[in-house]
Chain A
Amino acid sequence: MSIELKNLYDDFRDAKTIKAYAKQIAIDAKKLGRPIGIMEVCGGHTHTIMKYGLPQLMPANVHFIHGPGCPVCIMPKERVDHAYTLAMQPDVILVTLGDMIRVPGSHGSLQDARAKGADVRFVYSPIDVLKIARENPDKKVIFFAIGFETTTPMTAALLESVIKNDIKNVLFYINHVTVPEVMTTLMIDGENRPVENKIDAFLGPSHVSVIAGSQIYEPFASVYKRPVVVSGFEPVDVMQSIHMILKQLIEGRSEVEVQYARAVEKGGNKKAQELTNKYFEKAPLFSWRGLGKVPKSSWQLKDEFSAYDAQKIYDSILSKEECQDHKLCRCGDILKGLATPPDCTIFGTLCKPSNPVGSCMVSSEGACSAYYKYGNIK
């Protein structure tokens, strides 16, 4: 058969295929005969799982654990505060992507900053920053860059364009983080001691893997003995991946397999990796919201690009204080897979998408938001 664009959407959402996999998974789960937890690392997968009601299709002994792969959810409050401070500076336009504008910091969200007169804009693509900078030559345009391995090379490509086109008024506030290091914190603590968890296998992220390759998960299979299946975003992709995970567990294997082979290769996208490595280096430490400080889990601009680094340029006005989350908020436990949104006493009461307390409710990829929106809770 020849493939049309339509097939890439419809055939990977086909109800009959989902049903066929559900049957297969039920047979596998019976063979396995013990409860298992599968962590979907990526917030995009959480969204798919909840949107298509996949928890309801799982046998009683197969559970989803929602992981830390939502860039908005893991952003610590102090960094939101930094963005707020930057936005409030005169002659600054602060630009960011999507949901970040709604995340509450200590003084409010970036949306609140905008209500107070700050020029905060959100864009569909980092490339749009170039247009804003060209149209506002007397302003400093600060790009509040967020995201995992997926978006880091895109920020690098933006910086490359800024340098190439000699644009003088674009700065970057970098908050790019990496997946394997934070996954490791779910397995071992800072002193290499095993961490108690309920994770028997990982559903590997789609886009992170398109860029970084499936190779980055090797230690989770070989050292920590957890099967990893890199999955596509569509519901059929996820169901097939669960089937592949169960097969590994039944056969006593722990390997990295790629279900999303139509887009992911072992080595990933080399050009994108070169872009990242040209402009960025690993930062010593990043504070993940709810997860604490994780060494070498984020990127910073190399020294030679300091002239573009808002964190360095505005260092004297950026608060060094660390902020605590709301006492009742359980985003941290949810990001570690120790709780689900309904376990949180303020879920759906004090904390709602219209008035989010924790970051997992802000982003559409956050577990709380997905549970609230789709409601198909098991």
Chain B
Amino acid sequence: MCLSIPSKVVKIDEENQMCTVDTMGIFRDASLAMMAEGDVKIGDFVLIHIGFVMNKISVEEAEASLETYREIIALMDEDEMRRAIEEDDKCQ
């Protein structure tokens, strides 16, 4: 029951504090009761949990994480390449 479902807001019904979100092609309604009025906008990424928007997902923070991942992969690739060269050297 705790699993998060990142979704994108496609429609907002302010009067009923509801919105429609796209969860990888599945469209569903979610309550905005836990979000401050006007805080959620169309196009925002949000976390959905049992029919409620819990929070917005920060694009900047997500990008920062992905940048960190690119760096750690580059580090691993570099390390593997270095090891491959060393192994190769040993063979000669």
Q: Which residues of A contact B (CB under 8 A)?
A: 1, 3, 5-9, 11-12, 14, 16-17, 19-21, 23-24, 42-44, 47, 69, 71-72, 97-99, 124-128, 147, 150-151, 153-154, 157, 160-161, 205-207, 210-211, 232-233, 236, 240, 261-263, 269-272, 275, 363, 365
**Best-surrounded residue of B22, B52, B59, B64 (most CB of chain A within 10 A):** B52
Q: Which residues of B contact A (CB under 8 A)?
A: 1-4, 6-8, 22, 24, 31, 33-36, 45, 47, 49-52, 54-55, 57-59, 61-66, 68-69, 72-73, 75-76, 79
Given the interface pairs A125-B51, A151-B50, A154-B34, the reply to whether A207 lies near B2 with Cβ below 8 Å is yes
In contact, A44 and B50 (Cβ under 8 angstroms): no
- The answer to whether A42 and B76 touch across the interface, beta carbons within 8 angstroms, is no
Q: How far is the CA of A44 from the CA of B35 in the complex (A)?
A: 23
Which chain A positions have C-beta within 8 A of B31? 125, 127, 154, 157
Partner of A160, one of B3, B33, B65: B33
Tell whether A42 pairs with B2 under 8 Å between CB atoms, given A153-B34, A269-B34.
yes
Closest chain B CB from A179 CB (angstroms) = 12
29 A-B pairs with CB atoms under 8 Å apart are A3-B45, A3-B63, A5-B22, A8-B57, A16-B76, A17-B69, A17-B72, A17-B73, A20-B69, A23-B76, A42-B2, A44-B3, A69-B2, A97-B1, A153-B34, A154-B31, A154-B33, A154-B51, A160-B33, A206-B4, A210-B54, A233-B3, A261-B58, A261-B64, A263-B4, A263-B47, A269-B55, A271-B34, A365-B2
CB within 8 A of B65: which of A44, A97, A151, A261? A261
- Write the nearest CB–CB distance from B4 to chain A, whole angstroms: 5
Instruction: Determine whether the beta carbon of A8 is less than 8 Å from that of B45.
Output: yes
Instruction: Identify B2's interface contact among A6, A21, A206, A271, CB under 8 A.
Output: A206
| Contact status B54-A1, CB under 8 Å | no
Name the distance in Å between B55's Cβ and chain A's nearest Cβ.
5
Instruction: Please tell me if the beta carbons of B66 and A1 are within 8 angstroms of each other in the complex.
Output: yes
Given A20-B72, A98-B1, A205-B2, 15 more contacts at CB 8 Å? A3-B62, A5-B22, A8-B6, A19-B76, A43-B2, A69-B2, A124-B50, A154-B49, A154-B52, A206-B4, A232-B4, A240-B65, A262-B57, A262-B65, A270-B36
Q: Which residue of A lies closest to B56 (CB)?
A: A263
| Contact (Cβ within 8 A) B50 A71 | no
Q: Closest CB-CB distance, A132 to chain B, in whole Å?
A: 14
- Bound complex: CA of A16 vs CA of B31, how far in Å? 36
Most chain A CB atoms below 10 A, which of B58, B63, B69: B69
Q: Name the residue of chain A whose CB is nearest to the CB of B2.
A: A44
List chain A residues, Cβ under 8 A from B54. 150, 207, 210-211, 263, 269, 272
- B35 to chain A minimum Cβ distance, whole angstroms, is 6
Q: Which residues from A are CB-within-8-Å of B62? A: 3, 7-8, 262
Given contacts A3-B63, A262-B58, contact A240 B68 (CB under 8 A): yes
Contact flag A5-B7 (CB < 8 Å), given A16-B73, A157-B33, A263-B47:
yes
- The residue on A at minimum CB distance from B70 is A17
Bound complex: CA A24 to CA B81 (Å): 16
Taking a contact as CB atoms closer than 8 A, the residue among B6, B49, B79 that contacts A150 in the complex is B49
B75 touches A9 (CB 8 A): no
Q: A131 → chain B, closest Cβ, in Å?
A: 12
Q: Contact at A20–B52, with CB atoms within 8 Å?
A: no
Closest residue of chain A to B22 (Cβ to Cβ) is: A5
